[in-house]
Amino acid sequence: MKTYKNLILSAITIFSLALLFTPDMAKAQQSGIKRTELQRHDLSIPGREAIQVRIDFEKGASFGKHSHPGEEIIYVLEGIFEYEVEGQPSVTLKAGDVLFIPTGKIHAAKNIGNSKAVELATYIVEKGKPVLKMQK
């Protein structure tokens, strides 16, 4: 009985530590935001991969300042967003609008509409690096 209990506690500890040190999108979840990875593929460009993610923002939810080790291409599926991109004036985008964010540019997004907002984010990033780097 003690061995089984120790095994379960060890598994929980290992799983918890793995989550703590996972530098990828799982750690980047924020309140009111759901990220769903749709696909990930190596590109013909050595060391690069493409990742597509659906990002659902509840009403009023925002994703703080962050950057990526590559380009991000955004297509708004529904709702209204306000985006702040380093060195540019903020922009408001609605369903059907697009936005390109260059490599390493610090940016943030907020749902400013009266209902849920959804975007499709396509990342062309360096393989093996965390997709998101949160800013302080």
pLDDT digits (tens, 9 = 90+) for 8-57: 544 444 443 333 334 444 444 578 999 999 999 999 999 999 999 999 99
Angstrom distances, CA of residue 104 to CA of 4, 27, 69, 131: 47, 19, 6, 11
Q: Is the pLDDT of residue 124 over 60?
A: yes
**Residue 3's pLDDT band (cuts 50, 70, 90):** low
Domains and CATH numbers, the chain: 33-134 (2.60.120.10)
pTM across the whole model: 0.76
pLDDT mean across residues, the chain: 85
The whole-number pLDDT of residue 67 equals: 95
What is the percent of the chain where pLDDT is above 90?
73
